[in-house]
Structure 1
Amino acid sequence: MFAEHAARVSRLRSQLARIAPHDRVRLAKRTSNLFRSRAATKTPGLDVSDFTHVLRVDPLTRTAEVEGMVTYEHLVDATLPYGLMPLVVPQLKTITLGGAVTGLGIESSSFRNGMPHESVLEMELLTGDGRVVVARPDNEHRELFHGFPNSYGTLGYALRLRIQLEPVKPYVRLRHLRYRDARAYFAGLAAVCETRTHDGELVDFVDGTVFGPDELYLTVGTFTDTAPATSDYTWLQIYYQSIRRRSTDYLSVRDYLWRWDTDWFWCSRAFGVQHRLPRLLLGRRLLRSSVYWKIVAFERRFQIAARLLRLRGLPPEETIVQDIEVPLARAAEFLDFFEREIRISPVWVCPIRPRPGGARWPLYELDSGTLYVNFGFWSAVPLAPGEDDSVHNRMIEAEVTKLGGRKSLYSDSFYPEDEFWRLYNGTAFRKLKGDYDPEGRLLDLYEKCVRRR
């Protein structure tokens, strides 16, 4: 497997060598989990479609060697037979390991395991200047190793990664705990994350769903060897709806990891597939995030939703697709702002704490001693006459900054350039850019994430 990987690396370097020295370069990817629109470009693309192999799973060291374009669905299928899983498995099956490391990711194990890049032991990277380097936290490329997360392919591309794994049990027991007050809710979340227990039981997973100011659910999950029965949310039943109906539930570990993928959290309702008849007709194979991505791509191209709004005489809408983190102490404050100014429901909640050990990730630095709360919201809101089509997104950015938080860059961003570089450590980025892409063959972070080039 490693010899074949080396051959793929050699072919990729040959591709790069054939591109004119002063041309900008980007990946030629058929799929993406970014919600950022992008200006049309004739920039040459590197074909990395062959880098989709799990090279090795080692149950003794609890590690895996994985190529950068491996999806988490493929990776989980390779590790579960050994009773192992990645320390953090992002919510959607088509997210790639390389994408989650360079673009960040979280899930319900993040309160104890941080983000996916924090369990990476080694990265083989193709840099902007054409080198292939192996970066580790303690070698000559350690600054690149720590600066790669949140760089979104502007410093280089991950070809191979070695990551830590952790043991699993066959099932996950879920408890959905309802709260009627935001402050009590976040106090309960803090207690669970601090003690890793609830009602005397160990907690392995924590996330939450907010349906309204007086309907907030904290979901705690615990690995278990047995289950009296398991639920199935891969076809006719819808996971997020079960949170309001069931106080206790059991899922197989695989179904737990992908519980959000079948309905793209709750976003499948926009496509009309949360009714029983379309679900019967579509079946399990088509009820998944990869299919919804194709619908979104079609909509972006033809702007069907905007045309329908105009035909019906309704106001235009602003798309709001964001994930943000604020310190736990400011979480209730952010939710109050969000419910007052934005009014999207439901909202996903996920606690995250950087792993101990003192590692710094300069392009997305979080305080290692602080528990953060991620809020995920994905919908659209109507615009008042004369309102700019980014007004609500800009309000969110300003509020997150005011509360000492951070915003993920996988979707559209609107920061002025000076503020962007202050928030995302322009000094560290420019140094890495000078070391690994001095000719600027790859876009810089502001060009890619705000100017959308």
Structure 2
Amino acid sequence: MPQKSAIENWIDNHRELLLLTIILPWGKLFSWKDRLISFLTRPDPKDHEKRVHRVVSDVRRLSRQAKELRTDRRGNRSLTTRISDKSQSQPIGIRDLRSVVSIDEAGMTVRVEPFATIGDVVSHLDKKGYQLETAIEMKGATIGGLVLAIGMTTKSHITGLMHDIVEAYEIVTAEGELLRVTKEGEHADLFRAIPWSHGTLGFLVAIEMRIIPATPYVRLVYRPFYSLETYCEEHSRLLHSDNPPTYLEAQVFGRNKAVIIEGYPAGKEEAGDFPVNDVNSWHKPFFFKHVESMLELGEGRDFSELVPLTSFLMRHERSMCMTMGQIVPSANNVWFRRFFGWTLPPNMPLLKSSRPTEERERSMKRQVYQDFAFPSEHLQGMLEHLHDEFEIYPLLIYPCRVFDRGGMVRLPGQRAVEWDGTERSALYFNIGIYGEPKAVREGNFDYPTVNKVREIEQKISDLGGFLHTYVDIFSTKEEFEAMFDHSLWRKMRQKYGAEGVFPEIYDKVKPELDPLQFVR
């Protein structure tokens, strides 16, 4: 068994102390400072056209230089596992495009700039009595990042992904042309190619998205299950029913331990019938720990409560989708929540910047941090495979409806097939798995984690599924392009002059460290 380096030993022995005393408190101060600066320098929505004109001018001036164009967002600011290296690129000033430009109440759409965060948009709309038709649970995620990559929520089985609620993209092409791209317009082919393109076809400068009236609460119904077969059968039944729950999610805590969470919009009149629980308050248990407590209900029992809408929409924010339990094992303890709960979620730029190369390398070799989707009929088989290979819990499971419009993601049997103009859809399940495999937890640091993750990636691809691209991608470029159909994307790269001006997708999503060096 290989010896740990001195740095690895120090991190093992002092990581939590370092986080508690420095990174989390200072990170919160930095977050407050950033919010204050953001508030004081908030761009005026009325000046949106001026900001867009500046982007157009910069692209026209710089697009034919040797360097590829990328946004000026710092590499450690994203919510991905990687830190993007932009040192060889030409930055285009676009970070100040972060306003909610306007709300069209007649057409029920909101027009936002790409660097507006989901938290800002949810808060802005809530004050007006609206909400996005679908919204993910991480405040710091930007709207542009979600529609250019992937945004999946517990309502995605009804509405699809975040890009499926987009009515129009406003994009600056490599030639510096400003286009309004819609599903039925002259740029309909580009509309189909933009999702999952990661900014490789142009710079988004505005997005129009569908909104719906907001309700003050979501009524959550928790139901525990004590058999893998029974849980999978019930989750699939709900997903495929004629009238599924508005929100649907499950968390799996062991091979035969799971909780299904159904959510229904609720008005103030229901507040007297059910307890109200602000699950995202800083001193409350993490949402996944709250859900785990429902296993105590017993067979055939359920529990219902009302959660304020914005609290529900951000319910995984503090725990960073269950990963805080890995970063700070004591984070859900009462003493931590009482004295340090205010420091969460951590400041992502500081957290990523404080991570030494050795720690990043070690996490790739010893941890699984994956999110992937696959056709719904394979749920039980996938859970059994993950248990046998990793035995990592809890698992986060979302259902989603995947639409095939001939773009990057195609349904099984359709990859590399010329799109015939027919929109197709299918129901998928998505699994988030975060943590160390059982073998690693038991001290086997020779466990071939990277190999096993690569096997999962190939299995997902073979089933007609796909990876989320905010996690580490261990696939080669050829394997990645076999999973995502690049046919339309390549045509749009040629048609709109993006070749040589914007990076390729794989170059933007691959880890900063080559995972193949860790293959055993």
The normalised TM-score by structure 1 is 0.89
Query: Within 1, Cα distance between the matches of 2:70 and 2:86?
Result: 13
**How far has the Cα of 1:58 moved from its partner?**
2.6
Alignment counterpart, residue 22 of structure 1, candidates 66, 70, 73: 66
**1:3–1:38 CA distance, 2 compared to 1 (3 A):** closer
Q: Secondary structure at the match of 1:118?
A: helix
* Counterpart residue identity of residue 390, structure 1: V
Residues 299 and 305 of structure 1 are in contact (CA less than 8 Å); yes or no, is this contact kept in structure 2? no
Aligned residue runs from structure 1 range 276-425, under 5 A: 276-284=334-342, 286-288=343-345, 291-301=346-356, 303-304=358-359, 317-354=365-402, 360-366=405-411, 368-381=424-437, 382=440, 384=444, 390-425=450-485
**How far has the Cα of 1:175 moved from its partner?**
1.1
Q: Secondary structure at the match of 2:355?
A: helix
Query: Between the two proteins, what is the percent identity of the paired residues?
Result: 22
Residues 129 and 439 of structure 1 are in contact (CA less than 8 Å); yes or no, is this contact kept in structure 2? no
**How far has the Cα of 1:24 moved from its partner?**
1.1
Query: Within 1, Cα distance between the matches of 2:436 and 2:215?
Result: 39
Query: Within 1, Cα distance between the matches of 2:110 and 2:122?
Result: 11
Q: Secondary structure at the match of 2:366?
A: strand
Query: Within 2, Cα distance between the matches of 1:186 and 1:130?
Result: 50
**How far has the Cα of 1:241 moved from its partner?**
1.2
1:129 equivalent in alignment to 2:175: yes
**How far has the Cα of 1:69 moved from its partner?**
0.7
**1:283–1:418 CA distance, 2 compared to 1 (3 A):** closer
**1:117–1:438 CA distance, 2 compared to 1 (3 A):** closer
Query: Within 1, Cα distance between the matches of 2:425 and 2:146?
Result: 23
Q: Which residue number corresponds to residue 441 of structure 1?
A: 501
Query: Within 2, Cα distance between the matches of 1:9 and 1:407?
Result: 32
Query: Within 2, Cα distance between the matches of 1:157 and 1:298?
Result: 26
* Larger CA deviation: 221-230 vs 322-331: 221-230
**How far has the Cα of 1:266 moved from its partner?**
2.0
**1:451–1:176 CA distance, 2 compared to 1 (3 A):** closer
Q: Secondary structure at the match of 1:236?
A: coil
**How far has the Cα of 1:205 moved from its partner?**
0.5
1:223 equivalent in alignment to 2:285: no
Cα RMSD (Å): 2.5
Q: Residue deviations 1:147-194, cap 9 Å, x none? A: 110111111222101111122311111111112223322221222223
**1:430–1:328 CA distance, 2 compared to 1 (3 A):** same
* Counterpart residue identity of residue 325, structure 1: A
* Counterpart residue identity of residue 287, structure 1: L
**How far has the Cα of 1:274 moved from its partner?**
2.1
Q: Which residue number corresponds to residue 275 of structure 1?
A: 333
Query: Within 1, Cα distance between the matches of 2:468 and 2:165?
Result: 19
Q: Which residue number corresponds to residue 312 of structure 2?
A: 256
Q: Residue deviations 1:121-168, cap 9 Å, x none? A: 100012233322111111121111111101111112221011111223
Residues 352 and 372 of structure 1 are in contact (CA less than 8 Å); yes or no, is this contact kept in structure 2? yes
Q: Which runs of 5+ in 2 are unaligned?
A: 1-43, 295-302, 413-423, 514-520
Query: Within 2, Cα distance between the matches of 1:303 and 1:47?
Result: 33
Residues 318 and 392 of structure 1 are in contact (CA less than 8 Å); yes or no, is this contact kept in structure 2? no
Query: Within 1, Cα distance between the matches of 2:315 and 2:361?
Result: 30
Query: Within 1, Cα distance between the matches of 2:399 and 2:109?
Result: 25
**1:146–1:305 CA distance, 2 compared to 1 (3 A):** closer
* Counterpart residue identity of residue 338, structure 2: L
Residues 37 and 412 of structure 1 are in contact (CA less than 8 Å); yes or no, is this contact kept in structure 2? no
Query: Within 2, Cα distance between the matches of 1:213 and 1:49?
Result: 44
Alignment counterpart, residue 202 of structure 2, candidates 144, 147, 156: 156
Residues 37 and 452 of structure 1 are in contact (CA less than 8 Å); yes or no, is this contact kept in structure 2? yes
Query: Within 2, Cα distance between the matches of 1:72 and 1:21?
Result: 34
* Larger CA deviation: 272-281 vs 64-73: 272-281
**How far has the Cα of 1:3 moved from its partner?**
4.7
Query: Within 2, Cα distance between the matches of 1:425 and 1:220?
Result: 33
* Larger CA deviation: 274-283 vs 245-254: 274-283
* Counterpart residue identity of residue 355, structure 2: R
Query: Within 2, Cα distance between the matches of 1:210 and 1:258?
Result: 20
Residues 111 and 352 of structure 1 are in contact (CA less than 8 Å); yes or no, is this contact kept in structure 2? yes
Matched pairs, number: 436
Q: Which residue number corresponds to residue 421 of structure 2?
A: none
* Counterpart residue identity of residue 296, structure 1: L
1:9 equivalent in alignment to 2:64: no
1:106 equivalent in alignment to 2:152: yes
**How far has the Cα of 1:295 moved from its partner?**
4.7
Query: Within 1, Cα distance between the matches of 2:446 and 2:85?
Result: 25
Q: Which residue number corresponds to residue 205 of structure 1?
A: 247
Residues 396 and 433 of structure 2 are in contact (CA less than 8 Å); yes or no, is this contact kept in structure 1? yes
Alignment counterpart, residue 283 of structure 2, candidates 226, 236, 239: 236
